[in-house]
Amino acid sequence: MIDKGIIHLFGVSMHAWTMEETVQVIKKRLEDNLFTQHVVVNVAKLVNMQSDSVLAESVKSCDIINIDGAGVVVGGRMLGMKIPGRVAGVDLFHQLLAIAEKNEHSVYLLGARDHVTEETVRQVKRSYPELKLAGYHHGYFWANEEEVVKDIATSEAKMLFVAITSPKKENFINKWKDELGVTFVMGVGGTFDVVAGKTRRAPIWMQKAGLEWFYRVLQEPKRLWKRYLITNCVFAWMLLKAKIKQLTKTVN
């Protein structure tokens, strides 16, 4: 893990960086051909890491751990941590594609359903016409996992973006990182759904207000309401206990 601008929250070390700082570090590491395993952390992932040791190990093994969750930003600040803001995975994805296009870095896209992946490829080619696309594959490949890993490695891609749900993407990346043959790998969750137009991003005012998660729930209530209700409540309880402990130490 890069030893710069680190905060520690509930047993997890994270980089309290701005988007600009994150992009500059990744760009430099790409230029220097330094392997980089990247991940973003939100409330749900932070909560699940408390009981899922495999996920925790996969996240903690990363070189860059960005904060992509308004709840984590607010919670950290409540405990006195200096966090400039969130680094949204979908925004970082687009910034890195622009860098890849400019510097002729080849890219491999992995994840989502077949038709979503294909539409993502079309939209990416439209937005970044000079981008070198090394290959792409849908995210339902678990019966032939090794073949997909081999396809990525033989594609000679420099950058890999994995759009699979958590914790599968984090564990997949950590399991195969030495065989993928890429310089940079990042889990991007539901980013392909957004790029392909399957789901919409929240309006800017909701993003700034930290309500992007709520907008996602409104679009997919059956799939997401329980996840956010449970993890948000657990996180609130964790914060409360941490704050009480902090205040008790201050008094004593």
Overall fold of domain 6-205: Rossmann fold (3.40.50)
pLDDT of residue 216: 75
Mean pLDDT of 142-164: 96
What are the Cα distances from residue 190, in Å, to 4, 169, 238? 28, 11, 26
For all residues of the chain together, what is the average pLDDT?
A: 92
Whether residue 221 is predicted with pLDDT greater than 80 in this model: the reply is no
Dmax (CA) of the chain: 62
Round the CA-based radius of gyration of the chain to a whole number and report it. Answer: 18
Domain boundaries, the chain: 6-205
Return d(Cα 219, Cα 154) in angstroms, integer: 38
Residues ≥6 apart with Cβ < 8 Å to 144: none
Place of tokens 């890219």: 107
Tokens (6 digits) for 152: 């990525």
Q: What is the pTM of this model?
A: 0.90
Whether residue 31 is predicted with pLDDT greater than 70 in this model: the reply is yes
Q: For residues 222 and 50, which has the higher predicted lDDT (pLDDT)? A: 50
Return d(Cα 166, Cα 172) in angstroms, integer: 10
Whether residue 66 is predicted with pLDDT greater than 70 in this model: the reply is yes
Query: What percent of the chain clears pLDDT 70, i.e. is strictly above it?
Result: 99
Mean pLDDT of 109-123: 96
Mean pLDDT of 120-144: 96
Mean pLDDT of 4-26: 95
79-105: per-residue pLDDT in tens? 999 999 999 999 999 999 999 999 999
177-202: per-residue pLDDT in tens? 999 999 999 999 889 999 998 888 77
Helix, strand, coil content of the chain in percent (nearest 5): 55, 15, 30
Which band of pLDDT confidence, cut at 50, 70 and 90, is reported for residue 67? Answer: very high
Return d(Cα 54, Cα 157) in angstroms, integer: 27
pLDDT of residue 197: 87
Q: For residues 205 and 50, which has the higher predicted lDDT (pLDDT)? A: 50
